[in-house]
Chains A and B, each alone.
Chain A
């Protein structure tokens, strides 16, 4: 009986991500829900505040980012919940393959399904909020760098609460404080851009957070998963 070759890290990554995407395609509601939430929140703001373009222009970066943050939070729980309840998480923990690769693949799939759509739809929403045209590049850059951080940090919280029956509130309490730096620097960058001031410093800090989250969070998530299945 020949022992099969172990998968390379890249193969393993693709296998897990491919599987997660396939599962997600079957639950279309799960993908669309956070996005629809985002769109609804942002369309309601101009209606609630009234057609004062100056005010909307002023608060547009904050609205878009807060909505993105909340919609990320809304979609997070799905990351490990189903795998935990049907036992496939156990199988991943018992695999001889490195867990952090699988975790990274799952987080990447989650970002592709929730973060990427937000980035794609953001210009349209910004238009609706009369955002300063100068600020568009900054909005796109901060979202592109920031939404992966939301998924990566959020995954730690989900991993810690996956064993709990009602972990929803706890998850928000754990995660939201960690989201604050991203929110502050992202909106500051967009506001700076709107005033035609340099914003590369803010971007550098968000990039640093991304690198930090990308390298450390898969390990933290792996450790947290082992603890919460205990």
Chain B
């Protein structure tokens, strides 16, 4: 079976410190991968490398066996990345924020109300994001996941500032996405409550 995404001997150096050295792993359809490590272990750096936002010191990331720098457009059609910055504009309303980022990522723009309902923002559709709480801003960004048509999700701390019921809903969404043949790579300090699915773990501290 062809892998979706492959990290090939990635080395990352930040501030003269080796974060990880020759890290290789494969992401197949149906994988749910949690990146673990203490603060500063390089979790975010790894996710940014995988998304192609920064370049590795050595090694490369391959999407369907092709270096991502050579097939950006194809790769990005199949990638949803939510970093620790939400990418939500305070000057725009919930709906404006969501529909803009969906259009940008070529995700489904129909049935936006459903996505807004899923993240419990019904009633806040026309509120400016700057008037909403941190958790609600985070939810605006996460609402994209319900509309996403991409296979690979890369999520940096998706549960930050999200309440318990929200986390449960997200976990269910993760399971659905993986069952549909998607793949999720995420970082979190929280233990996932998902029992019926084996979450693969990559611990960055073991890699040096």
In the complex, the answer to whether B149 meets A94 with C-beta atoms within 8 Å is: no
In the complex, the answer to whether A87 meets B53 with C-beta atoms within 8 Å is: no
Which of A23, A93, A97 is B89 in contact with, Cβ under 8 Å? A23
> Is A15 located at the chain interface by the 8 A CB criterion?
yes
Residue of B nearest to A24 (CB): B91
Residue of B nearest to A27 (CB): B91
> Is A92 located at the chain interface by the 8 A CB criterion?
yes
Residue of A nearest to B75 (CB): A96
B residues 35-55 with Cβ under 8 Å of A?
51-55
Binding site for B on A (CB under 8 A): 1-4, 6-7, 12, 15, 19, 22-23, 26-27, 82, 85-88, 90-97, 229-230
Q: A4-B149, A7-B106 are in contact. Are A22 and B91 (CB under 8 A)?
A: yes
Residue of A nearest to B80 (CB): A94
In the complex, the answer to whether B107 meets A90 with C-beta atoms within 8 Å is: no
Q: Which residues of B contact A229 (CB under 8 A)?
A: 53-54
> Is B168 located at the chain interface by the 8 A CB criterion?
no
> Is B88 located at the chain interface by the 8 A CB criterion?
yes
Q: Which residues of A contact B109 (CB under 8 A)?
A: 4
From residue B91, how far is it (CB to closest CB) to chain A in Å?
Answer: 4
> Is B83 located at the chain interface by the 8 A CB criterion?
yes
Q: Which residues of B contact A12 (CB under 8 A)?
A: 103
In the complex, the answer to whether B106 meets A4 with C-beta atoms within 8 Å is: yes
Q: Which residues of A contact B85 (CB under 8 A)?
A: 85-87, 90
CA distance A106 to B96 in the complex (A): 17
Between A and B, 10 residue pairs with Cβ closer than 8 Å are A19-B92, A19-B96, A26-B128, A86-B88, A86-B90, A87-B86, A94-B76, A95-B76, A95-B106, A96-B106
Q: A87-B84, A88-B89 are in contact. List 8 more A-B contacts (CB 8 A).
A: A2-B108, A12-B103, A15-B104, A23-B92, A87-B83, A94-B76, A229-B53, A230-B55
3 smallest CB-CB distances across A and B, nearest first, come from A87-B85, A87-B87, A26-B91
Residue of B nearest to A84 (CB): B85
CA distance A27 to B73 in the complex (A): 33
Q: Which residues of A contact B108 (CB under 8 A)?
A: 1-2, 4
> Is B24 located at the chain interface by the 8 A CB criterion?
no
In the complex, the answer to whether B91 meets A86 with C-beta atoms within 8 Å is: no
In the complex, the answer to whether A95 meets B104 with C-beta atoms within 8 Å is: yes
From residue A18, how far is it (CB to closest CB) to chain B in Å?
Answer: 9
